[in-house]
Amino acid sequence: MTSLDREQELAAGVETEVRAAVEALEFDALKREFDDNNQLAFVPRFLPDRLVHSMIDEARSLLPHVHRTRLPFIRKAGTVGQDRIGASAPILHAVHRSAALLDLASRLSGIELSFKSERDAHAAALYCYERAGDHVGFHYDHCGCEETASYTATVGLVHETTARVEFQLFKDDPERPMRQLFVAMEPGSLVLFCGSRAYHRVTPLRENERRIVYSFAYVREGKKLTGVPRLVENFKDAILYFGPKAIFQRNYR
């Protein structure tokens, strides 16, 4: 068996497990939650333990490649980008590229969604919080896109912390009162939301705590950033997440 055959067999096994997790959901109830929360749904213990443990093992193996950034009041944490994950973490990569998970996101949003370019470091990333005070300030995940063109899926991996994701739902809706939602990203949990609607942050870690999540983005089918908007996003990636190399990503097409 060639290495390509082994990789395809591994990806097929991962897809089987993810599809079973999706099929076990009560979709109608999840869709109501998604709509009631301004396009956000949270599923605790979504993925099976065996798959989650394998994902955690791969995530820990990538820790030497974490790029840390610190911008006061904005972000203090580490990141591993899609390029490294795609090359060195086949199980994580297979979860990101799961057709069943993409279909779930499309059905919830009511929009035909697609994967971002694999040349985009932000298509999928590990976010690693390992030091006291690590956090991310309030932000949207619009990825340079217009309203409802970008969606985020995040899977919890390591959650040895009191930190939470704080969402402010309906923050910019003049007809609805803003509602807070605090989410603990326990191993295997899934949160899926519209990046341009869910204003959110990660609260600071305390001493001797650790938090690792795996997050990836979907975009509306046919949506591609080019020119100046793409350059702006690459500069943001360089400053906030991946370092100077992100400016030169080959993701303009």
Q: What is the DSSP string of 64-76?
A: GGPEEEEETTTEE
The tens digit of pLDDT for each residue in 55-71 reads 999 999 999 999 999 99
Q: Are 116 and 173 contacting, i.e. CB atoms less than 8 angstroms apart?
A: no
The predicted pLDDT at position 121 comes to 77
* Other CB atoms within 10 Å distance of the CB of residue 5: 9
pLDDT in tens, 82-137: 999 999 999 999 999 999 999 999 999 999 999 988 878 778 999 999 999 999 99
Q: Which class is domain 3-248?
A: mainly beta
Rounded CA-CA distance 61/36 in Å is: 38
Q: Which of 191, 39, 222, 223 is nearest to 127 (CA)?
A: 191
pTM of the model: 0.92
Q: Per-residue confidence at 203, pLDDT binned at 50, 70, 90?
A: very high
Confidence of residue 230 (pLDDT cuts 50, 70, 90): low
Indicate if the pLDDT at residue 2 is higher than 70: yes
The mean pLDDT of the chain is 90
pLDDT band, residue 226 (cuts 50/70/90): low
Q: Which two tokens stand for residue 164?
A: 């939470």
